Structure 1
Amino acid sequence: MKYLKLIRYQNLLLLAFMQLIFCFGFLKLEKIDLALANWQYFLLVLSTVCIAAGGYIINNIMDQDSDLENKPKDVVVGKSISETMAYNLYIGFTLTGVCIGFYLSNVIIRPSFLLVFILPSALLYIYATSLKQVLIVGNVVVATMLSLSIIIIGLFMIFPATADDNRTQMRIVFSVLIDYAIITFIINFIREIVKDLEDIKGDYKQGMKTLPIVLGESKTTKLVFALSFVPIFCILYYVYNYLFQLQYATVYILAFIIGPLLYFSIKIGSAKTKKEYTHLSNVLKLVVFFGIISITIIALNKMYYVA
């Protein structure tokens, strides 16, 4: 169990679930040519999960002091797992992810795509060691990582299989992935700020320069309140312009995505305790989960129940 806590297995399961849903609950239903076979796509998912696991491990190593203050029950490195072992696991997971990426990049005859695996690995290390302490930049980096795990699906499944006769269809499908990546980025960026609010005491003692420490807790919650309407308006705009004829998908999005986001907006304005921030962070994680499922709801609604 200690090793599962070290790599934050719940987040890795969500990541794998997301990539599997986007492939088998969306791309496969679109009946388009795809560059990777199913077993090769599973390798792509494994590679992404390994790199993310490496990122969590190095982050846990570097955050030992602040985690003792913010979440002492979740501290693993230095307690049940030695720092040396943690470093070895970090290297093992990261190298495994990059090596699989090297293989897949050559499978699709795009060796330069190896950078899609190397750059996130390097960025996660730099984030844990230095960028995390830079105002806003750390939040952007973490939010970008999950969005990149959506874009990478298009790069390895759609882009290499695109030809003159299917270019228009492929562009539309790829654009859907980009849209989801953008919304995912916005929601995760907001969630990262909420997590900074949650960890403000420990981060302050470590001399970190997070947004709540620089602006103050009150101003940061007001900023998050304002930012929370950005994904709401973006999603409503998207539904109105592209999905309104899909009744089941529209109802699902309003109930399971817009609803929780409005709840978050209402609650963040009055939130003041660590417990409240933790709850609201989990609400946003739930929104991401329901957002992932929505891609399949939309695809099935298009296939069988178009109004």
Structure 2
Amino acid sequence: MMLIVKFGLFEFLNIETALSAFNFSVLILATVLIAAGGNVINDLYDVEIDIINKPKKVIIGKFISEKAANVYYIFLTFLGVIAGFYVANSVGKPGLAAIFIGVAGLLYMYASQLKSKLLLGNIIISFLVALSLLIVILFDIFPAIILAPSESQLHGTQIILHYALFAFYINFIREIVKDLQDINGDRKGNRNTLAIAIGRKRTITAVFILGIVAIAGILVYMYLYLYTSQVVVLYFLFALVAPLLFFVIKAWSAEHHNDYTFLSLLLKIIMLLGVISIYFQKFLLTNYA
């Protein structure tokens, strides 16, 4: 996603940016390392629950020890923060390094405490997914602004904000679906997820409604921003609206674990197709190139 934005959207718009290709690669590396550390610490706190929810995918305790996992967590997070410091200093904004420290801390708090709070954990993870796009603005566009942002910088920022909102919303739905998948282990772990708080049936109804809202939002976005390009409109209709329509149809009748697993996979595919759609923005950007 970050690569498509940098070497697709930004280059086509000819946006003045701050990061070289190498430094942008370090930004991606920092993001991946922090996220990897977050996955490790999350697995550490979820060992007993994962034995119930996904016994075949448990790594800690089977393939590596908890002690080794802690070492991996510290190592990955430390390298991620160091890489973040390097990128922040390379653009002359050392204070931006605090973002990576904050994200690492938030991932730790999520794994140890916040994921047990009703909807709070879902919101945090969805925000961090969106943040992986927003940091491109903070590190690549913001430091390159001299006196005032150029038209291309403003337009590029607007597009990224739209996609960050899309990433947040679709991932938020998927987090709720994952809670449906993991309800048995979460219940044993005394977690207060939406599926536990209001039950499976009401939760899947909420997922259905959120899916309908997503479809409506994309249709409104198409009407407001994409109507000038038939290619982009067709892509959004067939690659995003149609799969989301299929998603809500399947969600309406979902009752079993396999149904929730399929819905989660479908949302992953929709997110991927949404990322790819950034490439098609070039058909709308002739006036800005």
- TM category, shorter: over 0.9
Give the AA of the match of 1:127. Y
2:47 maps to a residue whose letter is: Q
2:89 maps to which of 106, 111, 118: 106
| Contact 1:143–1:189 (Cα < 8 Å) also in 2 | yes
Moved over 3 A (4+): 300-304
Q: Given the alignment, which residue of 77, 80, 103 partners 1:94?
A: 77
| TM-score where L is the length of structure 2 | 0.97
Structure 1 position 127, deviation (Å): 0.2
Corresponding residue number in structure 2 for 1:225: 208
Paired positions, count: 287
- Structure 2: gaps (5+ residues): none
Give the Å deviation of 1:167: 2.8
- Choose the corresponding residue for 2:197, options 214, 219, 228: 214
The change in CA–CA distance for 1:73 and 1:20 in structure 2 (over 3 A counts) is: same
Q: 1:83 maps to what in 2?
A: 66
Offset of 1:298 from its aligned partner? 1.6
1:285 aligns with 2:268: yes
Q: In structure 1, what residue type is equivalent to 2:275?
A: I
CA shift for structure 1 position 195:
0.2
Question: Using the alignment, how far apart are the partners of 1:194 and 1:165 within structure 2?
Answer: 43
Q: Which amino acid aligns with 1:258?
A: V
Match of 2:178 among 176, 195, 217: 195
Tell whether the 8 Å contact from 1:70 to 1:199 is kept in structure 2 after alignment. yes
Q: Using the TM superposition, give the Cα deviation of residue 302 of structure 1 relative to its aligned residue in structure 2, in angstroms.
A: 3.7
The partner residue of 2:101 within 100, 103, 118 is 118
| 1:173-223 Cα distance to aligned partner (Å, 9 max, x none) | 111111110111010000000000011111111111110001000010111
Alignment of 1:1-307 (within 5 A): 18-164=1-147, 166-300=149-283, 302-303=285-286
What SS does the corresponding residue of 1:242 show, helix, strand or coil?
helix
Cα distance in 1, alignment partners of residues 209 and 217 from structure 2: 14
Secondary structure at the residue paired with 1:148?
Answer: helix
For the residue of structure 2 that corresponds to 1:43, the secondary structure is helix
CA–CA distance in structure 2, aligned partners of residues 272 and 183 of structure 1: 26
Amino acid at match of 2:126: A
| Counterparts of 2:90 and 2:189, CA distance in 1 | 45
- Distance in 2 (CA, whole Å) between partners of 1:259 and 1:199 is 27
Contact conserved, 1:35 with 1:160, CA < 8 A, in 2? yes
Counterpart of 2:217, as a letter, is C
Once structures 1 and 2 are overlaid, which stretch shifts more, 205-214 or 66-75?
205-214
Q: Could you tell me which amino acid in structure 2 is paired with residue 41 of structure 1?
A: F
Residue 14 of structure 1 is matched in structure 2 by: none
CA–CA separation in structure 2 for the residues paired with 1:300 and 1:40: 28
Alignment check: 8 A CA contact 1:36 1:156 kept? yes
How much does 1:168 deviate?
3.0
Worse-matched range after superposition: 275-284 or 223-232: 223-232
Structure 1 residue 224 displacement after superposition: 0.9
* 8 Å CA contact retained: 1:246, 1:298: no
CA apart distance, 1:21: 1.1
**Which shows bigger deviation, 256-265 or 231-240?**
231-240
RMSD, aligned CA: 1.3
- Quote the offset at 1:303 in angstroms: 4.2
Is contact 1:246–1:302 with CA below 8 Å preserved after alignment? no
How far the C-alpha of 1:164 sits from its partner, in A, is 3.6
Q: Identity percentage over the alignment?
A: 41
CA distance in 2, matches of 1:209, 1:187: 21
C-alpha separation in 2, matches of 1:230 and 1:140: 17
